[in-house]
A and B are shown apart, each in its own frame.
Chain A
Protein backbone atom coordinates (compact mmCIF):
# COMPACT_ATOMS: atom_id res chain seq x y z
CA UNK A 1 0.00 0.00 0.00
CA UNK A 2 1.35 3.40 -1.00
CA UNK A 3 1.73 5.73 1.96
CA UNK A 4 2.90 9.33 1.98
CA UNK A 5 3.24 11.17 5.28
CA UNK A 6 4.03 14.87 5.38
CA UNK A 7 5.51 16.64 8.38
CA UNK A 8 7.21 19.89 9.32
CA UNK A 9 4.31 22.28 9.01
CA UNK A 10 3.27 24.90 11.52
CA UNK A 11 3.08 28.60 12.22
CA UNK A 12 5.86 30.81 10.85
CA UNK A 13 6.28 34.56 10.64
CA UNK A 14 6.36 36.39 7.32
CA UNK A 15 9.86 36.27 5.89
CA UNK A 16 10.62 33.06 7.74
CA UNK A 17 11.59 29.61 6.52
CA UNK A 18 10.25 26.10 6.93
CA UNK A 19 11.27 22.67 5.64
CA UNK A 20 8.60 20.11 4.90
CA UNK A 21 9.28 16.38 4.72
CA UNK A 22 7.33 13.57 3.10
CA UNK A 23 8.06 10.01 4.18
CA UNK A 24 7.17 7.48 1.50
CA UNK A 25 6.50 3.75 1.74
CA UNK A 26 4.79 0.96 -0.14
CA UNK A 27 6.53 1.55 -3.47
CA UNK A 28 10.04 1.86 -4.90
CA UNK A 29 10.50 5.54 -4.11
CA UNK A 30 13.67 5.93 -6.16
CA UNK A 31 11.89 4.98 -9.39
CA UNK A 32 9.28 7.73 -9.36
CA UNK A 33 9.02 11.47 -9.85
CA UNK A 34 7.55 13.26 -6.84
CA UNK A 35 5.67 16.55 -6.47
CA UNK A 36 4.58 19.11 -3.92
CA UNK A 37 1.13 20.64 -4.26
CA UNK A 38 -0.64 23.09 -1.98
CA UNK A 39 -4.24 24.05 -1.39
CA UNK A 40 -5.46 27.20 0.32
CA UNK A 41 -8.77 26.88 2.21
CA UNK A 42 -11.69 26.73 -0.20
CA UNK A 43 -9.45 26.94 -3.26
CA UNK A 44 -8.27 24.57 -5.95
CA UNK A 45 -4.94 22.79 -5.54
CA UNK A 46 -1.83 24.49 -6.93
CA UNK A 47 1.10 22.43 -8.22
CA UNK A 48 4.39 23.80 -6.88
CA UNK A 49 7.27 21.62 -7.98
CA UNK A 50 8.39 18.17 -9.02
CA UNK A 51 11.67 16.31 -8.92
CA UNK A 52 12.59 13.59 -11.37
CA UNK A 53 14.23 10.31 -10.46
CA UNK A 54 17.93 9.41 -10.56
CA UNK A 55 17.59 8.05 -14.09
CA UNK A 56 16.60 11.58 -15.09
CA UNK A 57 19.33 13.22 -13.06
CA UNK A 58 17.07 14.45 -10.25
CA UNK A 59 16.18 17.49 -12.33
CA UNK A 60 13.48 19.77 -11.03
CA UNK A 61 10.62 21.95 -12.26
CA UNK A 62 8.89 24.79 -10.42
CA UNK A 63 5.77 26.85 -10.67
CA UNK A 64 6.83 30.47 -11.30
CA UNK A 65 4.77 31.42 -8.24
CA UNK A 66 7.41 29.82 -5.97
CA UNK A 67 10.53 29.61 -8.13
CA UNK A 68 13.51 31.10 -6.37
CA UNK A 69 11.93 30.79 -2.90
CA UNK A 70 11.14 27.06 -2.68
CA UNK A 71 13.55 24.17 -3.26
CA UNK A 72 12.54 20.55 -3.75
CA UNK A 73 14.91 17.71 -2.98
CA UNK A 74 14.84 14.00 -2.21
CA UNK A 75 16.80 11.36 -0.32
CA UNK A 76 16.33 8.01 -2.02
CA UNK A 77 18.30 6.22 0.73
CA UNK A 78 15.69 7.31 3.29
CA UNK A 79 12.65 7.46 0.98
CA UNK A 80 12.00 11.07 1.88
CA UNK A 81 10.96 14.08 -0.19
CA UNK A 82 11.66 17.61 1.02
CA UNK A 83 10.46 21.13 0.35
CA UNK A 84 12.57 23.99 1.65
CA UNK A 85 10.47 27.14 1.79
CA UNK A 86 12.14 30.54 2.27
CA UNK A 87 10.92 34.13 2.44
CA UNK A 88 7.44 32.96 3.33
CA UNK A 89 4.45 35.23 2.74
CA UNK A 90 0.90 35.28 4.08
CA UNK A 91 -0.32 33.96 0.73
CA UNK A 92 1.77 30.80 1.24
CA UNK A 93 -0.68 29.76 3.97
CA UNK A 94 -2.14 26.44 2.81
CA UNK A 95 -2.24 22.70 3.24
CA UNK A 96 0.86 21.24 1.57
CA UNK A 97 0.64 17.80 -0.01
CA UNK A 98 3.30 15.54 -1.43
CA UNK A 99 2.22 13.35 -4.32
CA UNK A 100 3.68 10.44 -6.20
CA UNK A 101 3.75 10.47 -9.98
CA UNK A 102 2.57 7.38 -11.83
CA UNK A 103 4.17 5.82 -14.86
CA UNK A 104 1.66 7.50 -17.16
CA UNK A 105 0.51 10.62 -15.34
CA UNK A 106 1.21 12.70 -12.27
CA UNK A 107 -0.33 12.55 -8.80
CA UNK A 108 -1.62 9.01 -8.58
CA UNK A 109 -1.28 9.06 -4.78
CA UNK A 110 -1.34 11.98 -2.32
CA UNK A 111 -0.40 12.33 1.30
CA UNK A 112 -2.88 13.59 3.88
CA UNK A 113 -1.27 17.02 3.88
CA UNK A 114 0.37 19.33 6.42
CA UNK A 115 -0.80 22.82 7.35
CA UNK A 116 1.49 25.80 6.95
CA UNK A 117 0.36 29.13 8.39
CA UNK A 118 2.30 32.30 7.69
CA UNK A 119 1.27 35.00 10.12
CA UNK A 120 2.71 37.46 12.59
Chain B
Protein backbone atom coordinates (compact mmCIF):
# COMPACT_ATOMS: atom_id res chain seq x y z
CA UNK B 1 0.00 0.00 0.00
CA UNK B 2 1.25 3.49 -0.88
CA UNK B 3 1.38 5.71 2.20
CA UNK B 4 0.76 9.43 1.66
CA UNK B 5 2.41 11.65 4.26
CA UNK B 6 1.09 15.20 4.49
CA UNK B 7 2.86 18.09 6.16
CA UNK B 8 2.29 20.09 8.16
CA UNK B 9 -0.56 18.52 10.14
CA UNK B 10 -1.95 21.98 10.79
CA UNK B 11 -1.02 25.50 9.86
CA UNK B 12 -1.97 28.92 11.20
CA UNK B 13 -2.43 31.36 8.36
CA UNK B 14 -3.52 34.91 7.68
CA UNK B 15 -5.85 36.23 5.01
CA UNK B 16 -3.83 37.19 1.95
CA UNK B 17 -0.95 34.88 2.83
CA UNK B 18 0.64 32.39 0.45
CA UNK B 19 0.27 28.84 1.78
CA UNK B 20 2.10 25.70 0.68
CA UNK B 21 0.93 22.22 1.65
CA UNK B 22 3.02 19.12 1.09
CA UNK B 23 2.31 15.49 0.34
CA UNK B 24 4.93 12.76 -0.01
CA UNK B 25 4.23 9.28 -1.37
CA UNK B 26 6.04 6.21 -0.06
CA UNK B 27 6.62 5.12 -3.67
CA UNK B 28 6.32 6.78 -7.05
CA UNK B 29 2.77 7.48 -8.17
CA UNK B 30 3.57 9.47 -11.31
CA UNK B 31 1.09 12.33 -11.56
CA UNK B 32 -1.77 10.30 -10.10
CA UNK B 33 -2.50 12.64 -7.22
CA UNK B 34 -5.60 14.65 -6.40
CA UNK B 35 -6.14 17.33 -3.77
CA UNK B 36 -9.43 17.71 -1.90
CA UNK B 37 -10.83 20.42 0.36
CA UNK B 38 -13.19 19.58 3.22
CA UNK B 39 -15.02 22.11 5.39
CA UNK B 40 -16.83 21.05 8.59
CA UNK B 41 -19.95 19.00 7.96
CA UNK B 42 -19.35 18.81 4.21
CA UNK B 43 -18.11 16.10 1.90
CA UNK B 44 -14.66 16.56 0.36
CA UNK B 45 -14.51 18.59 -2.84
CA UNK B 46 -12.05 18.00 -5.66
CA UNK B 47 -9.62 20.87 -6.22
CA UNK B 48 -6.77 19.44 -8.27
CA UNK B 49 -6.51 16.25 -10.33
CA UNK B 50 -3.54 14.73 -12.12
CA UNK B 51 -1.24 16.64 -9.74
CA UNK B 52 -1.67 20.02 -11.45
CA UNK B 53 -5.07 20.37 -13.15
CA UNK B 54 -7.74 22.50 -11.55
CA UNK B 55 -11.21 20.95 -11.36
CA UNK B 56 -14.10 22.88 -12.87
CA UNK B 57 -14.83 26.08 -10.99
CA UNK B 58 -11.77 25.99 -8.75
CA UNK B 59 -10.22 29.47 -8.33
CA UNK B 60 -6.83 30.02 -9.92
CA UNK B 61 -5.29 30.86 -6.55
CA UNK B 62 -5.09 27.06 -6.08
CA UNK B 63 -2.09 25.48 -7.83
CA UNK B 64 -0.90 21.90 -7.69
CA UNK B 65 2.50 20.60 -8.69
CA UNK B 66 4.71 17.56 -8.38
CA UNK B 67 5.61 14.22 -9.89
CA UNK B 68 6.72 10.87 -8.59
CA UNK B 69 6.80 11.09 -4.80
CA UNK B 70 6.62 14.79 -3.92
CA UNK B 71 3.58 16.98 -4.41
CA UNK B 72 2.50 20.44 -3.31
CA UNK B 73 -0.70 22.45 -3.18
CA UNK B 74 -0.24 26.21 -3.09
CA UNK B 75 -2.88 28.77 -2.23
CA UNK B 76 -1.48 32.03 -3.56
CA UNK B 77 -3.69 34.48 -1.69
CA UNK B 78 -5.46 32.92 1.28
CA UNK B 79 -9.13 33.76 1.66
CA UNK B 80 -11.41 33.12 4.64
CA UNK B 81 -13.38 30.52 2.67
CA UNK B 82 -10.17 28.50 2.24
CA UNK B 83 -10.06 27.59 5.95
CA UNK B 84 -10.55 23.85 5.74
CA UNK B 85 -8.82 20.49 5.86
CA UNK B 86 -6.93 19.52 2.72
CA UNK B 87 -6.29 15.91 1.72
CA UNK B 88 -4.09 14.46 -0.97
CA UNK B 89 -5.05 11.18 -2.65
CA UNK B 90 -2.94 8.82 -4.74
CA UNK B 91 -4.57 6.67 -7.39
CA UNK B 92 -1.43 5.29 -8.95
CA UNK B 93 -1.92 1.93 -7.26
CA UNK B 94 -4.68 0.02 -5.52
CA UNK B 95 -5.69 0.56 -2.80
CA UNK B 96 -6.12 4.27 -3.42
CA UNK B 97 -4.90 6.06 -0.31
CA UNK B 98 -5.42 9.46 1.25
CA UNK B 99 -3.03 11.49 3.35
CA UNK B 100 -4.00 12.31 6.93
CA UNK B 101 -4.78 15.90 6.02
CA UNK B 102 -3.57 19.43 6.71
CA UNK B 103 -5.85 21.73 8.66
CA UNK B 104 -5.64 25.44 7.85
CA UNK B 105 -6.59 27.75 10.71
CA UNK B 106 -6.53 31.49 11.24
CA UNK B 107 -3.71 33.02 13.26
Contact = CB atoms under 8 A, between A and B. Distances in A.
Among the interface residues B43, B46, B50, B97, which one has the most CB atoms of the partner chain A within 10 A? Answer: B43
A111 B42 CA distance: 10
Interface in A105-120: 105-113
Interface string B9-51: 0000000000000000000000010101000000111100110
Contact of A108 (B55, B98, B100, B101): B55
Contacts, number: 57
B91 A106 contact: yes
A106 B96 contact: yes
Interface stretch (A9-17, A42-50, A74-82): A42-50
A111 B44 CA distance: 9
Contact of A44 (B32, B50, B100): B100
Given A44-B100, A110-B45, 9 more contacts: A44-B98, A45-B87, A61-B94, A61-B95, A63-B95, A104-B50, A105-B49, A105-B50, A107-B34
Interface of B: 1, 32, 34, 36, 43-46, 49-50, 53, 55, 87, 89, 91, 94-101
